[in-house]
Chains A and B, each alone.
Chain A
Amino acid sequence: MLTGRGSIQTKLIVILVLTAVATALAACLGLAFFEFRGFRASLSSDMRSIAQIVAAGSQAALTFGDTKAASETLAMLKAEPRVAAGCSYGADGKLIAQYVAQGRLTCPGHSPPFPHEGFAADHFYLTRPIELDGQRIGSIHLICSLNEMYARLTRFGAVAVAVLGGSLLFALLISTQIQKVISHPILQLAETVMTVSARGDYTVRAGKLAEDEIGVLVDRFNGMLERIQAQDEALRRAHDETEARVVERTRELQMEIVARKKTQAELERAKNAAEEANRAKSAFLAHMSHELRTPLNAVIGYSEMLVEEGEDRGQHWADEDLRRIGGAGRHLLTVINDVLDISRIEAGRMECQIEPVNIRSMIDAVVNTAEPLARRNGNRIVAECRTVRASMPADVVKFRQSLLNLLSNACKFTENGSIWLEVDETEERGAPWLRWSVRDTGIGIAPAHAEKLFRPFSQVDSSTTRKYGGTGLGLAISQRFCQLMGGRISFESEAGKGSTFRIHMPAEPAAEESGARPPAGERD
């Protein structure tokens, strides 16, 4: 009961009651013991006095063997109710007289040994000698009933039981109140704990009722609650902040998504518009090209035909003018082709087919093509190849067009001079490059005009166009072509002394060089 189930109140009550009852019981038992001992001591002391008196009184009767007197002496014992029997014995030990009060206790027939006394179960006995002048003349034997003692003990026991019962009730009454001193704070603490754990409310505090160990416990518990409450609040704050941040961020993201979708839609529209515009531009260019070529075909064709037919008839007076018409037509064709090239380059639609180009074949081809042009101005072309390489990576059509452009420029702007075409090997950024130099002894270029050189439609001045022809697109196109192939064109010149234009090209295919790759072009 004290260690198992049951409330602390019950346990405290049981402890207190048990303690009280045990104390009372111990007190009663102690008292009973001392009462018993005292009763016995006083009984034996009283009996010894009585025996002495009776012995003294019996001296004469025994001396004279007077039985009657002896009986009378014994009869005095009637005054003492505790004495159950008195017996007188002679010197020989034989019973002379006896007094029997009541009951079953009688004198033994022969004198018991003396001096002797002791307690039997229900009586006290005592034997004393009767002496006269130091001589034993007989003995006296008293028997005393213990009934009174037992009666007293019984009464005592009843009182003890009553006292125990009373003290039990009293202890119960007191302990029920007193246990609250201990149990109340504990129960209150327990209740607080229940409240906290049931509601998760860490703001509750346990009440402190005393400065004892439970008080300390309550203090500690409250301290713990305070820390938990602080942590709980911190957690809640953190959680709230996080939640707020998540909400905020979600809103931002949603706005961002909306904005991005809008941007994407706008980009899509812009892209579609740009593609549409590009398609329209391509279609326009294709259409323009077609529509210009058809009448040009007639212009050039008829002018050539008239020369042929005049030859058949032996008439040559119009030949020169007809050739001018044809030349103008062909010039217009060049302009058309150049404009198409430039617009394709600027639209990023120019494709490049990089493949090994044979260097010697290229030199022969361009020199052959440029030869008539050179002769027209009284120039000679000198070609020199100073590389052992057989080929280089390039777009053969674009490279030939670029190189031819440089050569025909040199022929155009030089009179009665020389034009050198030299190919040699150089090195750039640790890689082998080829340098195609076209050097002339022509009019040269003033430094002021140098920077306009590679811009579309920018011949050095308009008088140049009138005198030398050309569209002003050739160098711009050649430069862009060479850049598409991973190379470039450079030049140096001195006005009046001549110019040197150089095409620089990588001598070996570039593994990862993006410049050497053709840009994505249109597919018809």
Chain B
Amino acid sequence: MRRLLLVEDNELNRDMLSRRLKRRGYEVLLAADGLRGVALARHAMPDVILMDMSLPEVDGWEATRRLRADLATQAIPVIALTAHAMPGDAEKAMAAGCDDYDTKPVELARLLGKIDALLAPAGPGRERKEAGCRRD
């Protein structure tokens, strides 16, 4: 079973999205802030992380940078899932090390497509990201 980590501080969104993803057969781990998100990622090694950006303790951009800096977690794909939908927000998320970016409100079919793309074995996206990590 594919394991997803959803880092999200809004309780409603956490509940709603985790239930919908579980219904589609994913194991969903939850974290309510960036610090716990990074710790859980290191501990549970999920297949994909869905990362909100506006988070308490450590925000999504910093959390992603920490995941990327850690050898154990640097290969885990991260999808920025954020209500920051202004021009430039996608670039900002990618610059922090995210592999993909999607906006809220979530359009589930679109998000699932992005998750599947990142889970596909030996996708070109991973290669590129690993190269990007070494650059950091």
Contacts and interface: CB of A to CB of B under 8 A. Distances in A.
B16 A305 contact: yes
Contact of A301 (B86, B89, B105): B105
A181 B20 CA distance: 137
A333 interface: yes
A423 B51 CA distance: 43
Nearest to B81: A297
A89 B10 CA distance: 192
Interface in B80-127: 83-89, 91-92, 103-106, 108
A297 B23 CA distance: 18
A296 interface: yes
Nearest to A295: B12
B54 interface: yes
Contacts of A297: 10, 13, 16, 83, 104-106
A350 B25 CA distance: 41
Contact of A294 (B17, B83, B89): B83
Contacts of A302: 12, 16
A313 to B, nearest CB: 12
Chain A interface size, as a band, is: 20 to 34
A298 B16 contact: yes
Interface in A247-299: 285-286, 289-291, 293-299
A290 B83 contact: yes
Interface stretch (A8-16, A123-131, A412-420, A516-524): A516-524
A35 interface: no
Contacts of B85: 289-290, 293
Chain B interface size, as a band, is: 20 to 34
B13 A294 contact: yes
Interface string A433-467: 00000000000000000000000000000000000
A298 B12 contact: yes
Nearest to B92: A524
B86 A524 contact: yes
A298 B23 CA distance: 17
B9 to A, nearest CB: 10
Interface in B48-77: 54
Given A298-B10, A351-B87, A309 B105 contact: no
A329 interface: yes
B83 A301 contact: no
A308 interface: yes
21 contacts: A286-B86, A293-B104, A293-B105, A294-B83, A296-B104, A297-B10, A297-B104, A297-B105, A297-B106, A300-B106, A301-B105, A304-B108, A309-B19, A309-B23, A333-B105, A351-B87, A521-B87, A522-B88, A524-B86, A524-B87, A524-B92
Interface of A: 285-286, 289-291, 293-302, 304-305, 308-309, 312, 329-330, 333, 340, 344, 351, 521-524
List 7 tightest A-B contacts by C-beta distance, closest first: A524-B88, A293-B83, A297-B104, A298-B12, A301-B16, A297-B105, A290-B83
Given A295-B12, A305-B20, A308-B23, 17 more contacts: A286-B86, A290-B54, A290-B84, A290-B85, A293-B83, A293-B85, A293-B103, A297-B10, A297-B13, A298-B12, A298-B16, A308-B20, A309-B23, A344-B87, A522-B87, A524-B87, A524-B92
